[in-house]
């Protein structure tokens, strides 16, 4: 047991994480909820601690949700999704090529080099590579995969690998690059790519991103209190708005797990975790 209140584990993928959760912690305590948080350097330890009862809640990446769910199932209990952001719903990853490329579809990438993000990035590696597999291409055999392992252990929250993949595409050292749709827009704003420099040759189906998850040590009553407080946060509140902006949302929403089915398939196809949540990816060292 972590204590009488609620203890959340978050991953420190960026210094702003401290500002976000310091602010949320203060606000939640003012509402009468005994709440605290701890930071992790990687999602694998966070997931293990959630299932092991050393923290009550985890601010999960989608991949951390998959691992924690499998570990909990293997231990004979279920986790409780609490909430997610409006911006976590209905996302899509893209495979893009340079505008002057002769490639017009995923099938046209056979025999070519595809750049991805970090090995553990759902959005820039696992899901796009599943899209290639669904198009009949075996990564590492039919296409050469060039990974950019930046921020390994952060499950793609550090977008440096995606950014480096985009730079490699622009430099002409790879034939295609994988990225989430929002980061295509970001890299355009940053000037790494321009609107007329690339075009999209493949898209994943829609999927969901992060979810807050309660583990076996969490008080169900306190979890419901937390859920109600988060869902009640108003973007119009001048104190909360800067924190919500930093966390990338305008409102918290009720959770759903149907949006992770595609990632479950991608994890199995890549042999990333086994059915019990054990890490089986040979090149993954968080």
181-198 residue pLDDT tens: 999 999 999 999 988 899
The pLDDT value given to residue 2: 61
The pLDDT value given to residue 3: 66
Asked if 136 and 161 count as a contact pair (C-beta separation under 8 A), the reply is: no
Contacts of 141 (CB under 8 A, 6+ apart): none
Domain with CATH 3.40.190.10 in the chain: 6-88+209-269, 93-203
Largest CA distance in the chain: 61
Task: For residue 100, count other CB atoms closer than 10 A to its CB.
Answer: 9
Looking at domain 6-88+209-269, what is its CATH homologous superfamily? Answer: Periplasmic binding protein-like II (3.40.190.10)
Q: What is the pTM of this model?
A: 0.95
The two structure tokens encoding residue 18: 């401290």
CA–CA distance, 283 with 286 (Å, rounded to integer): 10
Per-residue CA distances from 212 to 68, 78, 116, 130, 191 (Å): 12, 14, 26, 25, 33
Q: What parts of the chain have a pLDDT lower than 50?
A: 1
Q: Which residue has 């306190």 as its token pair?
A: 222
The pLDDT value given to residue 122: 98
* pLDDT tens by residue, 118-129: 999 999 999 999
User: What are the two backbone dihedrals, phi and then psi, of residue 232, each rounded to the nearest 5 degrees?
Assistant: -90, -5
The pLDDT value given to residue 195: 82
Q: Dihedral of CA 73/55/41/177: which sign? A: positive
Exposed e or buried b per residue across 23-32, where buried means at least 16 C-beta atoms within 10 angstroms of its C-beta:
bbeebbeeee
Contacts of 266 (CB under 8 A, 6+ apart): 122, 126, 127, 129, 130, 272
Among the four given CATH numbers 3.40.50.300, 3.40.190.10, 3.20.20.70, 3.10.129.10, the one describing domain 93-203: 3.40.190.10
Per-residue CA distances from 96 to 69, 130, 168, 215, 246 (Å): 32, 15, 12, 38, 28
């Amino acid at each position: 047991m972590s204590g009488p209140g609620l203890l959340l584990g978050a991953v420190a993928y960026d210094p702003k994480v401290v500002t976000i959760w310091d602010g949320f912690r203060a606000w939640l305590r003012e509402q009468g909820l005994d709440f605290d948080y701890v930071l992790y350097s990687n999602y694998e330890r966070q997931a293990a601690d959630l299932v092991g009862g050393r923290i009550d809640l985890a601010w999960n990446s989608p991949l951390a949700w998959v691992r924690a769910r499998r570990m909990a199932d293997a231990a004979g209990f279920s986790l409780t999704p609490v909430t997610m952001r409006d911006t976590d719903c209905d996302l899509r990853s893209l495979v893009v090529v340079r505008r002057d490329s002769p490639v017009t579809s995923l099938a046209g990438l056979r025999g070519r080099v595809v750049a991805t993000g970090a090995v553990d990035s759902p959005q820039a590696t696992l899901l796009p590579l599943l899209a290639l597999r669904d198009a009949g291409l075996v990564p590492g055999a039919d296409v050469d995969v060039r990974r950019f392992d930046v921020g390994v252990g952060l499950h793609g929250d550090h977008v440096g690998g995606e950014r480096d993949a985009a730079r490699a595409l622009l430099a002409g050292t790879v034939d295609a690059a994988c990225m989430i749709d929002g980061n295509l827009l970001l890299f355009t704003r940053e000037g790494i790519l321009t609107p007329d420099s690339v075009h999209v040759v493949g898209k994943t189906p829609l999927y969901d991103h992060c979810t807050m998850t309660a583990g076996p040590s969490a008080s169900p009553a306190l979890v419901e209190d937390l859920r109600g407080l988060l869902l009640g946060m108003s973007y119009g509140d001048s104190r909360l708005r800067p924190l919500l902006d930093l966390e990338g949302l305008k409102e918290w929403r009720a959770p759903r797990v149907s949006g992770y089915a595609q990632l479950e398939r991608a994890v199995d196809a890549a042999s990333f975790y086994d059915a019990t949540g054990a890490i089986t990816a040979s090149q993954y060292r968080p």
